[in-house]
Structure formats: structure tokens, C-alpha cells
Structure 1
Amino acid sequence: MLTQAEMSESAAYPRAEHPRPDWQRADWLNLNGEWSFRFDPNDEGLRASWQNHTVSAYDSRITVPFSWASPLSGIAQNVKGIAWYCRSVAWRPSPSDARIFLRFGAVDYACEVWINGVSVGTHRGGYGPFEFEVTDAWRAEGDNAITVRVQDEDEDYQARGKQGYGEIRGIWQPVWLEVRPQAYVQHAKFETRIDGQVNVTAKIDARSAGEAALEFSFANGQVRHRINATLGPGTTEITTSFTIQSPLLWSPEEPNLYEGQVRLSGDFGEDVVTTYFGVREIGTARFDGRNYRWITLNGKPVYLNGTLDQSFHQTGYFTFPSDDDMRNEIFLMKRLGLNFVRIHIKPEEPRKLYWADKLGILVMEDMPCFWGNPDERSRSSYEREVLEVIERDFNHPSIFSWVMFNETWGLKTKAETTSLTGRSDQPNNYLPDTQEWVRAMYRWAKQMDPTRIVEDNSPCNWDHVETDINTWHFYINGYEQVRAHLEEVVSKTFPGSSLNYIGGNVQTDAPLMNSECGNVWGIEGGAGDSDLAWHYRYMLNEFRRHDKICGFVFTEFRDVVNEFNGYYRLDGTDKDFGYGAFVPGMTIADLHAPDFIVIDAPPCQTVDAGTAVTVPLLRSSFSDRYHGKTLSLVWELWYDNLGVRVTAAHGTVDVAWDGFGVAPVTELHLTLPNQDAVAVLALKLVDSTGRALTRNFTTFDVRSSTADGTYDKDGRFVSVPVADFTEYSFEHQWEAIGVGKTSGAGEGRFVYTISLPDSTEQPTINEMEVFFEASAKRTLARNIEGAKVREPGINYMHGAAANVEYNPNTYYMTDEECHASRIHVFVNGERVGSFDLPDDPADSRGVLSWHYQPLHNKLDEAGSYGYLCRAVVPGRIVAQLNFNRCFKLELRAESGGVALYGRNAGRYPIDLMVRFQ
């Protein structure tokens, strides 16, 4: 056992907690921390027997378990090739005849390990765990030298996944020593059923034959089972089962775990492993006469609200800096209302999977891909790693799906190869023999793990072969385009359809699910760093319209180095979606509710003032919690009238809530305001206690026929388009959203000439005030130097970084980082008001900036909006204007710049406007 001193020392190491809480022994030693390190660019280490050198022969220090390319390693050099690690350890395990194992979470790619100069084993593969028994080479007294040689050449056949954000090099998951008795439990697989039956397959390794007892104790001893076994030398497989009475099921809402121990005892002593399992069943099923399936959890449909997780950290790369970071990842997902995550093109670290189990989120785990030809060498190395991954992660109840390949990456035979075979006419060079290998891998995984959903290939090329779920990818921007695309996919999804399949294969009744979507690639040149909120709401609304679709994967959880479409920034800071401004209390989690109200209408419609409109509403239910009950749909039609919130109409509709899936609820018949307004239909579904189950909204740009606008406020109005200034003094100035918005960078001014009605039309002007919408203006590189479009080639897809400020579509979404300014209002040279402009925001509140985008596949400062500014002109100045009805209006910005929003941009349906009485 560890001494107190050893425990204290271990606590100072990075990642000091046990790496495998799903399979943990008490007697272990953490080897994370400082190791001696040396690159070997000329491959001289083996010839010079570096494995026999002491740590003094190494010229650097590295912090394990971080990739040598990452900042946290202390090396931070992204060089491929060979490197050596060495450290000395003095550790005397008890009892004296214990077996000692050296364990590695993962090392990329090929490695050999020596103890005191004696080779104890080799391993190939960058993602799977491995171990070596080092008992015979270990010295009970004094120091032991552990030496590791790693070679990572980025070969085409290597399973590398999507490492371009930050390369995995060398040791990148924890390393530890572990003590076991002469006979021990290698692993135990738990297969559970919701009736409480637990089937266990255990493998026992023994140095000699003998009798043993295998015991299971979980839930503080409430669940117990024992079986006697005769062990032979080597490996013995034992199968057994037991039943839990009234089992507590695992789900994201109630992540119940059966925590406890597996104990092997006999003449050799005891092997005690702390582990856990969750009782749950994953499946697919038809419901209520449908000819298609939904995904089920514990026998009931589950709507999968998910996100794509690159699982990348800016300092540790694919190794999380701490256990808290991994735990917080799951929390950050759940606070969004998500119930599942797709770990993208890599298996996740076991500690993070532990927190997924513990806190409750479903996991779709991808296998890492290779990037070369799918030849025999690539296939065999891939198959070896997939086996390691599935065996390692089998017991995690959070994992519901294995994805064998992604977007046909690694499955396309290069053109020069196909030209030799005469088969280059195959779509994407995805050849028939490769398709059959993919089918074989799907079937192999199903045989290895019949308890989970397996997908052959998560496709963007419509090329499934055989799969448990019929998923597809799309990156399309624009409401009409998204709506039409989903309509087409749904209409062409049925048993026997050839859509989304290749090689003569056709659809079964497998569940239809989106496995990648978002507005990052649906825009010419990529979306840059822009608002997600507007697109996200209508896309989620359109998903929930369709009864066949049972989930989605939004790209992605966090921003990464080349994609900025995350729910969060890369550092975990929040983005502001702005939904609460439309429906009080609404957050993004409302769009992920299992019981959801669908608004079957565009996100915004242009309508004439006073028009009657009809809004169809649907219900989408993937929970039976309220089935058979009556819920209340509370609605309000409201608008902002120059800073005053006005309720135009409101009501409550009782809704009989019963049955899974999508069905019509009601139609709301509304009369829109008789003035210019951005009108909002706000919805809230509540239960009998008044608890809100979900919220939603849609908007209307209500337009009067009056040239200067009609507003429910005393007086008359004169409006001037924001681009109609007579002079400006900014170093950089430009228009956007047509000419609906004008901006000036840095300090400067806009000057307007305002003409009021003459005295024959308006004899006396007694009061006057100026209204306008303005924000600060964060200056981007493209505003100064011009836009630069980077083609999204394969290197960019791998994760190559780019300066997003040059992207023509970039306009930063509202987040925690504010860019403030201040603006002063002058009338004929006298200051009449000053306003703080807290930020230069862009999110769903920029209704008009979104509604009047010229093109669906390009963004022109989309979603940007400002703050309503109202300056009252003093009476002495108004008196002067009674004699001279033409005056100069000057808007003078401080160093933070200014953006001015006109009638067809921003949040308020006004131009630069003067009200007078």
C-alpha cells in the first residue's frame, strides 16, 4: 500500500487521481509528473543503448501525461519522430510475492519499455491502453529505471483521428504502477437488462492452477453474488449472472450507478477491484404502427439532443489538465439541456467517461480514423486499436453507440491506386471491397458488443453500407434551405430507399438521426466567428417538426482553433444566445426539452401593420411524464415601442398531452400591431404547478405604409437613413446589410443634416427628442486590410488554425468579452446627450440584421444590433429650431467606434429618427 508520504507526493502530480475509476485497485503508484526526456532525430538511441543510461544522460524534462507537442508538457515542440523518456522509482510493494504491472493509458504511436535495462514489452497504437508485467525486472530495494522509447511518424496507416488542433505525441494519458496477487481479475464485462438481470463475463489470470471464489458486492452490499471456480494456469474465462430486485435504472436524468467491488480470493490471497455498472438497455423500436424506429433507452423513446465534442484543450490538447476539467465538461453540457455527446474521431479518456456515467450524459464514441489507403496494413492496425477501445470502455453505461468510421475518412482509395485497378469510377473511390470490410467491422462490433447501437460510417457522402442507425450530416444555412433539406431527407427515408446508402445497399427501418449539423460549413468560405443563436433556434424547430427524426448532433460543444461554432468559447466562457429577451427565462435548454412546442413558421416574417396571421403549433413529445395529462400553453404577442414593452394580445390554451412523437396542437390567430414594430410571439408550455417545460418564440417585422414610420407615441417623426450622413471623420468607415447599417472604426463622427417641416406645415415645435440604435464597433482585421477567404481543404479540416478576423463572414457572437464605446449627440454644435455603448453584440436579438441578410450562404454582419439611445433636446435649442428648421445632428464616437442601425438592421425598426411636438 502507499505510505502517507507517497500519497502526499502523488497529490502534487498532475492528474493525481486514479486514471480508471471503472477498474481500480488500492495498491498503485501514480507515475505522472516530471520525467527525463530526449529527442532522437537520428534514431541512434537503440544503437547507443540509451535504455541503459541514467536520467543524467537526458537533456530535457517533460511533464507526463501531456503530449510533447502541448504547452503543458513543458516541451511544446510539434515534431514527429522518436523520443525517449526515463525516470527512477523506488517502490516496494507489499506483499513481497506480489506481481507488479506497469500501465499506460495511451501512447502515440509505437513504443518499447525497459525496466532497469530489461525490455518488458512493446506496443503499437495511439489510443488503446496497455500494460506490461514487470515483476521479474523490478528491484525490491533501491531505484528502478523506467525507460520508454516512443516513435510517432504520422504514417498513413496510423489511426490518428483529427489531431490537427494539437498533435498527440508520445505519452498522452496517465502512467501508473499496480500491484496484483498471483491470480487476479483481468476484467469483467457487465451486461445489464432493465428487469434486473446482470450477466458477467470475467477473465482470470493465474500463475498456477487452484481453487478460487469470485464475489461481487455492490450498492453497499445490497447486491451480492458469489461463484466458485477452478483456475488453470494462464487465462480462465468465467460467465455468471445475478438479478437485482427492483433495479434503479441509469439514465441522463437519473444516473444511478451500482458501485462496489469484484473480489477474487484463494490460496494466492485476494484481488479486490473497485468498479461499477449501470442498469440500462439501449435499443431501437417501432411505436404505434410506424414503419420506422426510434432509439430507445430503457424501453422508451429518447430524443437525443447532442453535440460534437472535439475534446480538445488549448494547453493539454487532447489530455485534460485536471479531473475537475473533465467533470466540468459534463456539467457544461448538461446545463445546456443536452443529454448526449458525440466524442469525435477518438475514444475519450476514461476519467471523462466516468464523469459521463456519474453525472449522466449519453456518449456516442467514435473510433479514430487513419488517413491513407484502406490497405491491409491500415486495416490490421485499425482493427487492433478498435478492439482495445471497446474492451476498455465496455462497462460505461453512458456509452450507447460505437461509430466505426466518420465521413468515409480513410476509406477512399487514392486515385493513383484506383487507376491501376480500373475501378476509379466508384463514388469517392470508396471501393466495393472496402465497403465489405466496413460491413465486416460493423458486424464484428455487433458481435463484440450486442448491447449497443453500432454505426458503420457517419456519412456526409450518403454512403452507409449496414448500420443500426441511419444518420447523415448537413451544413446548410438559411431557413428555407434547412426546411427544404429536412423535408427531402424525411420523405426519402423508408425501408427499401436507396438514399444515404451505397453499393446497392438500401435502408432498413433503422432510426433516422442527424449526426452532424451546424452553420460552420454552410456558408461560403466558412462562417468564421459569428452568431449561432438565430440559425440554431430555427434548425432545432425544424428538427422537431419531423416525427421520423429522433435526434441531432450540433457541431460543436466548444470553439476550436479553426471552427468557432461552439456553444462555448474554447476556454469555456459563455456565449449569449439572447433568447431570454424574447421569452422571459428562456435559455438554450428550452430548445432541448423532451416535451417541446414547435412553431411551424419562419423565424421572422415581414407583414403589413394590422395584418391578421395564423401560426400553426405542433407538439413533439419524447417523454411519457405528462402523457394523459392536460398542459397549458401560455402565449403573448408583444413588441417594444421605442423602449416601452407593449402587450398586444395574450392567452392560454389547454393542451391534451398524450403519446410519443409529433402531432398538431392548435393554430393561433393573431392581429399584429398597427405600427412599425418587431413583434414577438412568445410561448411557454407549463404543467399544473406552473412550471415551465419549454419556451419558444417567433418574430414579425411589422411595417406601416408611412415613409417616416408609425409608432404609438405622441408627436410626429422625421427619419433619416443611417447611411445618409453628409460627412464623417473616421479613418475607416463602411456600410453593411445593404446600406441598413453604417459603422466607423475608432474615434470619429457622423454628421447629418436634418430638415424639419416648415412653419406652414408645423407652426410650432415645443418638444423634440432624437432616437437611434447604436453599438460600439469592434474593429476586425478585414475592416482594415480587407477580407481573405481560406479554402477549407483537408489541412483545414484536420484543424489548421487561421486568423478568423479576415473571414468575410466573421462578426463575433455576444459573449463574456465586451468591447465598449461611448457616443455623444450634438445638435448645431451643442451636446444634448451622451450614451455608454457596452458592447458590439450579435445574437438572436439582431432580428432585423438576420431577416434582411442579402444571401443565405454569406453573412453580412448577421445578428448584429445595438442599444436604443434617446436624447431629449433642451427647450432653448428647440426654440431656435422654430426659426431655422434645418439643423446639424452630430454623433461623435470615442475610441471604441460606433455602429448605427437603420430600419432594416439591428433590433429596433427605426432609422435615425427625430420626434417633435
Structure 2
Amino acid sequence: MKKLLTGIAIHMALSCSFVSAQQSEAWKIVPGKITTPWAEKVNPAAPHPEYPRPQLIRGNWVNLNGQWNYSIVPKTSSDSKPASFQGKILVPFAIESALSGVGKTVGKDSVLWYQRTITLSSKLKNQSVLLNFGAVDWECDVFVNGKKAGSHKGGYDGFTVDITPFLVKGANQDLAVRVWDPSSDGPQPRGKQIKNPNGIWYTPVTGIWQTVWLETVPTTYIASTKHTPDIDKESITIKSAIKNAMPGDIVKITALDGTSSVAEKEVSPEEEAVLTIKNPKLWSPDAPDLYDLKIALIRKGKVIDEVKSYFAMRKISMKPDQNGIQRMLLNNKFVFQYGPLDQGWWPDGLYTAPTDEALKFDIEKTKEMGFNMIRKHVKVEPATWYRYCDQLGMLVWQDMPSGDMGNHWEPNPGITGNETERDRTPESETIYKTEWKAIMDANHNFPSIVVWVPFNEAWGQFKTGEISDWTKAYDPSRLVNSASGGNFFPVGDIMDLHHYPAPAMPRPELFGQKQIIVLGEFGGLGLPVDQHTWQQKDNWGYQSFKTKDELYNKYETFIDRFEPLIKKGLSAAVYTQTTDVEVEINGLMTYDRKVIKMPEAKLKQIHSKLYNSAWGN
């Protein structure tokens, strides 16, 4: 029997039952590791309460984060929910993390079960209840009242399950989630996770690690939107995906600058809307101007669904300079892009920042240090992270999380000819292609993302030409860095070298005529800070120092080397890295974010000289 609901009723019922559940069992962080300043601010009754989907905001929703029941059982056991549970886990923190309150490893031979009861009330015709997951690593089955309601594979893209057909008579509904994650024993994208953490490889992340929430929608509703700006034509193209559209339905799209409407258009659900934005404010790190959007679904003159979103007018492109060397352009002008390798790990939450304030902190500090770009390294962040990059004016290079590794890497691209590609199974290839497309779809609307990076350092690199060409064709509005520091193939827009510790660049006369030349990683200067490390000894960096002054002085000599490189044709560089991560101590900040190793103001001052646009002409 279908149970149909109003958003207000959901919110009230869930809020009451959820708070009482939290009070029944105390949560505490697992001791033994360093923590960030935000760990003590985590509210177990409402962790990460912020709205999780800033590019598609809808009013009728309720957050399901908090304490759930959990059990770890053998993978060979029945697909049925366990008869009893082993304790409570704090969602959305992965079970291996301290903030989950559990701190256990799962592994390929076991599955992780979650369970909780949700309370729904009040009937309303022509409404559906959607259950949304920000991210679950890796294979997930969703059960509602004992029946399988949906499945998903992919640790880095969100998914939605319409649970309306599975609701039963009465207020209480049973929700269970089954997760299997083989970590480094499987071919799936996993980034830096490994079952035996060491060196540059970190603790596994299993299960729910982003927000879970419910929303009510009409039977016909706006499922997604896609925004693509064109500053040369002074226009924005918007395509809406409408679920269960009816003949005669209209999609009305309004673009706003503050409270003022600057463009408006009505189209059918199947049509793209092209809105003219006259004299557009161009988005850049110096002026991160954003426009708001309202998308309304109209039937017979009545709004039946409405969402809010936003967009920016910006362009990323390439063009040869006066010497014939390809340059990376932002809004048709050369802007040297310089930023840290940002892995997005936390000592207390692993993949998940303790709070939204913590998530924003890393971007703010990066901006204060005078960087204008972040390379998001083999991980995808929650949507709110990209929203902050959009708001603060931070360019983003987005990596595809690595997986199915094992092929040979030649660290001097195109020189020795020893490069190889991974011979993946059809299953592995399908997993990669499916998730890469999903990641690109989910993050297309964030203007801060200017570069897609399908591979890193030959980690699972396969069919480089095919993947690079497909990525470019699928999203021609961005540049493609086919293999950052990986095995070189003359495809994609960018030639990317990794070189530690000092800056270097590929020879522009060999590569620069066809591709943009960048230094995708360098640096790695280490400074262990006592009482702020993951472990007390045996920490690791590419080159280690004993004092902050020694570290800064060495770093400054590296910055001094950039001017001649930029003049020769270097368009961007990435310093390793934003923070220490587990045993790596080469961050600009300690892993717990309590110590900034080099003063922000001094960094901003020396970085400012890198942004001389005349060097790229």
C-alpha cells in the first residue's frame, strides 16, 4: 500500500523520532588518533545538517544523518537484513573513521548493514518520496520494509531511490542499506584507499560517507538541470531533465542577478533553453560573480514543481601565444593557474569533513595563501565543497579516482617509450566508464571546475586515447588533462609532468605546439610537527625539514624558479600538498589543521608575482 506524504509532515515526524533515538545511546569519537578542531563541534543528533545539493535546491526535504544501527557480517550470508545489530554508527562518517563512533575495518569478505526506522505521516495524492544518498562506497543495495528498492555501484556519485511503492500502512517504515566494498582487492575506483595503509596509501573508506536525505516531489518533477555558459555569445544553455512529463507541460527558467531578473525563457520539457545574458559579469578567482536560477515546472498555468540553482559566466580554453606555445586561457586571457594538490582527507572523518565549516576551511586557507587553483586529487567531494569554490573563486582540476592499478609507469613522459597501459577486464572498463560519466554529470554545473583529469600517474591508465577523446566530446566546455604525470600519449589538451621536489617543465619545443604545458605535481616538502602527526615516528615526505623557517626558505627558492618557466610556456603548476595525510607530512598544514606551516600572508605575497598575465602573451 502506498503511503503518500507532505514535506512538512515528514520533517516534523522525523525530527521528533530522530532526536529521541539519539538520546537513547550516547555517541563518542573513537580515541587514539589526532582530531581536528571541529571534531568537538559534531552534533550526533544532526551531523552535517546543511542542505546537501546546492545546484538543485528543493524545500520539502529532511536530513537522515545521525545514529543508525549497524552490523558487519560475512559476505556469504543471506541478503536479508541481520536479525540483530552490533551497535550504532554515526552517518555520514565511514565505519573506519573515528567520527563514526565505530572505527572498524570491513574488507572484501564482509558486508556492512545499516538500519533505522523512519516515521512518515499524513496522506497527499500525487506525491512521491525520494531517498537520496550523497555517496556510498562502493556497492549498495537499499531495502524498504524488507523489499529491495534500489541498487547502486560507485563510491563517488550520488543516487536516488523512489521508495514510494515500498511504503506500508502505518507511520513507521523500515530502512536498511547493505554495502560491499572490496577496497584495494577490487577493480573499482578507490583513490588512495588500500587495505594495508602505508606511505602514500591510506585507510579504507567503506559505506555511507555523504549525507542521506528524503524529499517529497510531485509525480512529475525536475530531476536535474545542466548549465553550459558561452561568454562569447553572451548566453547560458540550460537543459532540464523532467521525470514523468505530460503533454503541454512547460519549463520556465529565470536567471537573476541578485533580486533582478536578467533573462527568462519558457520551453517544453524536451527543449534546451538558451538565455541571453547581456554584458555578463565574468566569473574568475578575482571576481567570482554568480547568477541565481529559478526553474519552474508549469502545468495549465500552475507551478507544480520548482527548484533553485545558480550558474556563472566563464570560459576555459587554449590558444597559442606569440611563440606558438599553447596557453591555458580563462575568459580568453592567460591566467597562470597555481594551486595545491588537495586530497580531502581528515584524521577524524577520513573522506568526510567533521562539519561544513571544516569543509570550507581548507578552501579559505588556500585562498588566503594566494593560490587560485586546487587540484582535487583522486577523490570527489560533496557538492557543497564545489559550491564554496564557486563562491570564493577557486579554479578546480577534478581527478577521476584511480582504481585497478598495476601497469608500468614511466615518470619522464614521452622520453623513453616504455609506457604501458593497463589491460583491464570488460567489467573493470565498464565500472570506470560508468562512474566517470556519473561524476562528470553530477558536477557539470559547478563553474569552478575547469579541467577534467581521467588518469593520474598511470594508476589504472587504460585506452588513454579513447577515454580522453570521449571526455572531451562529452564536455567540450572544459579542458582535458588525459593523464596527470602519467604515461604520455599525444591526446587531450594538456601535457602534464610530475617532478619532485623542484619545479621543472616538459620541453615546450617538443610538446607546446599542440598541448598546454603544466607541472601537475612538484614540491612535497615535509615538516613533521610534534603532537600533530598521524603517528609519532616513521613519517614521510619527499624532502624533510626541521623548522618552519627552513621549510619556507626552501619553498621560496622554488617559487623564484617559476618566472623563466612561465615565460617559456608553462601554464600551470600544482604544489604537493594542502595538508599532511596520515603518514605523509608534506602539507602546507598539519593533518589536524591546527598548525599552518608557512604564514599565509608571506605565501600570498610571493605567489602574487606568478600571476603576471603578460608572461603568456
- With normalisation by structure 1, the TM-score equals 0.56
Equivalent of 1:588 in 603, 606, 610 = 603
Establish whether residue 456 from structure 1 lines up as the match of residue 482 from structure 2.
yes
Give the equivalent residue in structure 1 for 2:417.
Answer: none
Please say if residues 133 and 159 of structure 2, whose CA atoms lie closer than 8 Å, have aligned partners that are also in contact.
Answer: yes
Deviations 1:70-114 (A, max 9, x none): 011111112212011111011247743211111111111111111
Q: For residue 519 of structure 1, report the CA deviation from its aligned partner.
A: 4.0
**How far apart in 1 are the matches of 2:123 and 2:437?**
33
Within the candidate set 577, 580, 583, 1:559 is matched to: 580
**1:476 and 2:501 aligned:** yes
Per the alignment, residue 110 of structure 1 pairs with 139
**What pairs up with 1:39-54 in 2 under 5 angstroms?**
39-41=72-74, 43-46=76-79, 49-50=80-81
Q: 1:199 aligns with which of 237, 245, 253?
A: 237
The structure with the largest alpha-carbon Rg is: 1
Correspondence 1:532 to 2:551: yes
In structure 2, the partner of 1:385 is 435
Structure 1 vs Structure 2 CA RMSD: 2.5
Runs of 4+ in structure 1 off by over 6 angstroms are 7-11
Amino acid at match of 1:199: T
Find the aligned partners of 1:93 and 1:330 in 2 and give their Cα distance: 42
Between 256-265 and 81-90, the greater mean CA deviation after superposition: 256-265
3-state DSSP of counterpart to 1:545? helix
Query: Deviation at 1:140?
Result: 6.4
Task: Give the secondary structure class of the aligned counterpart of 1:50.
Answer: coil
Which residues of 2 match residues 62-101 of structure 1 at below 5 A?
62-80=89-107, 81-92=110-121, 95-101=124-130
Task: Give 1:439 shift.
Answer: 1.0
CA distance in 1, matches of 2:519, 2:169: 56
Q: What is the CA–CA distance in structure 1 between the aligned matches of 2:516 and 2:66, rounded to whole Å? A: 46
Q: What's the counterpart of residue 276 of structure 1?
A: 310
AA at the equivalent of 1:273: V
Structure 1 counterpart of 2:612: 621
Query: Does residue 560 of structure 2 align to residue 541 of structure 1?
Result: yes
**Using the alignment, how far apart are the partners of 1:313 and 1:279 within structure 2?**
33
Task: Report if the CA contact (8 A) 2:89-2:95 is conserved.
Answer: yes
- Residues 104-142 of structure 1 deviation map (CA, whole Å, 9 limit, x = unaligned): 111111111111112111111211111111111124641
Matched, 1:513 2:518: yes
Tell me how far apart the structure 1 counterparts of residues 203 and 521 of structure 2 sit (CA, whole Å): 22
Native 8 Å contact 2:52 2:384 kept in 1: yes
Aligned partner of 1:319 in structure 2 is: 352
Query: Is contact 2:137–2:209 with CA below 8 Å preserved after alignment?
Result: yes
Determine whether 1:2 maps to 2:2: no
- The code of the aligned residue for 2:602 comes to T
Secondary structure of 2:570's counterpart equals: coil
- 1:152 matched to 2:181? The reply is yes
What amino acid maps onto 2:220 in structure 1?
A
1:525–1:458 Cα change, 3 Å:
closer
Partners of 1:82 and 1:259 in 2: how far apart?
Answer: 42
Separation of aligned partners in 2, 1:387 and 1:320: 25
Task: Give runs of aligned pairs for residues 569-584 of structure 1, distance below 5 A.
Answer: 569-577=590-598
SS at structure 2 position matched to 1:254: coil
**2:398 equivalent among 342, 365, 371:** 365
Query: Match of 1:379, SS?
Result: helix
Are residues 1:176 and 2:252 paired?
no
Q: 1:526 to 1:338 in 2, by over 3 A?
A: closer
Distance 1:78 1:237 in 2: 46
SS at structure 1 position matched to 2:270: strand
Question: Of residues 164, 176, 181 in structure 2, which corresponds to 1:135?
Answer: 164
For 2:605, what is the secondary structure of its paired residue? Answer: helix
Please show how residues 617-656 of structure 1 align to structure 2 within 5 Å. Answer: 621-622=612-613
- Secondary structure in 1 aligned to 2:543? coil
- Aligned residue in 2 for 1:819: none
Give the secondary-structure state (helix, strand or coil) at the position aligned to 2:363: helix
Number of aligned positions between the proteins: 538
1:186 and 1:205 in contact (8 A); partners too: yes
Residues 282 and 589 of structure 1, relative CA distance in 2, 3 Å threshold:
same
For residues 576 and 366 of structure 1, do their structure 2 counterparts lie closer, same or farther at Cα, with a shift above 3 Å needed?
closer
Query: Which amino acid is the alignment partner of residue 162 of structure 1?
Result: K
Q: Distance in 2 between matches of 1:306 and 1:140?
A: 54
User: Are residues 303 and 156 of structure 1, via their aligned partners in 2, closer, same or farther at CA, if it must alter by over 3 Å?
Assistant: same
Specify the code of the residue in structure 1 equivalent to 2:100.
S
Give the distance between the partners of 2:209 and 2:125, measured in 1 at CA.
31
- 5 Å-filtered alignment, 1:726-765, equals none
Give the secondary structure class of the aligned counterpart of 2:308: strand
Task: Assess, with a 3 A threshold, how the Cα gap between structure 1 residues 156 and 175 changes in structure 2: closer, same or farther.
Answer: same
Give the superposition deviation at 1:562: 2.0
- SS of 2:68 mapped into structure 1: strand
Q: C-alpha distance in 1, partners of 2:285/2:512?
A: 30
Q: What's the counterpart of residue 215 of structure 1?
A: 253
Distance 2:8 2:495 in 1: 50
> For residues 335 and 311 of structure 1, what CA distance do their matches in structure 2 show?
18
Q: Name the structure where strand makes up a greater proportion of residues.
A: 1
| C-alpha distance in 1 between matches for 2:255 and 2:430 | 39
- Structure 2 residue aligned with 1:226, among 262, 265, 279? 265
CA drift at 1:467 = 1.8
How far 1:215 moved relative to its partner? Answer: 2.8
Q: String of CA shifts for 1:261-285, please: whole Å, max 9, x gaps.
A: 2111215851111111111111112
CA contact (8 A) 2:255 2:291 kept: no
- 1:265 and 1:345 mapped to 2: Cα distance? 41
1:374 match: 424
Q: Which structure is higher in RCO with an 8 Å CA cutoff and minimum separation 6? A: 2
SS of residue in 1 equivalent to 2:484: coil
1:560 is displaced (CA, Å) by 1.3
What are the within-5 Å matches in structure 2 for residues 630-779 of structure 1? 659-661=614-616
* Deviation for aligned residue 1:540: 1.3
Is 2:453–2:480's contact at 8 Å kept on the other side of the alignment?
yes
Unaligned 5+ segments in structure 1 are 230-235, 412-433, 498-505, 580-585, 597-619, 623-658, 663-917
2 CA distance for matches of 1:444 and 1:368? 17
Distance in 2 separating the partners of 1:578 and 1:142: 56
Write the letter of the residue equivalent to 2:118: V
The 1-side partners of 2:175 and 2:431 are apart by 26
The C-alpha deviation readout for 1:640-694, integer Å capped at 9, x for no partner, is xxxxxxxxxxxxxxxxxxx4449xxxxxxxxxxxxxxxxxxxxxxxxxxxxxxxx
State the secondary structure of the residue aligned to 1:471: strand
Aligned counterparts of 1:13 and 1:368: Cα–Cα separation in 2: 29
Looking at structure 1, the residues matched to 500 and 164 of structure 2 have their Cα atoms a distance apart, in angstroms, of: 54
Does the Cα contact within 8 Å between 2:370 and 2:605 map onto a contact in 1? yes
Percent identity between the two aligned chains: 29
Residue type of the partner of 1:493?
P
CA contact (8 A) 1:213 1:228 kept: yes
Q: Is the 8 A contact 2:524 2:587 kept in 1?
A: no
- Relative distance call for 1:529 and 1:221 in structure 2 (3 A) is same
Read off the aligned partner of 1:589 and give its amino acid letter: K
Residue matched to 2:51: 18
Q: Deviations 1:347-405 (Å, cap 9, x if unpaired)?
A: 12211111111111011110011134522221110111111100000000110111000
- 8 A Cα contact 1:36 1:62, kept in partner: yes
Distance in 1 (CA, whole Å) between partners of 2:245 and 2:291 is: 31
Specify the code of the residue in structure 1 equivalent to 2:439.
Answer: V
Given that residues 135 and 208 in structure 2 are in contact (C-alpha distance below 8 angstroms), is that contact kept between their aligned partners in structure 1?
yes
> Structure 2: which amino acid aligns with 1:566?
G
Distance 2:254 2:120 in 1: 30
CA distance in 2, matches of 1:528, 1:79: 34
Change beyond 3 A, Cα 1:77–1:576 = closer
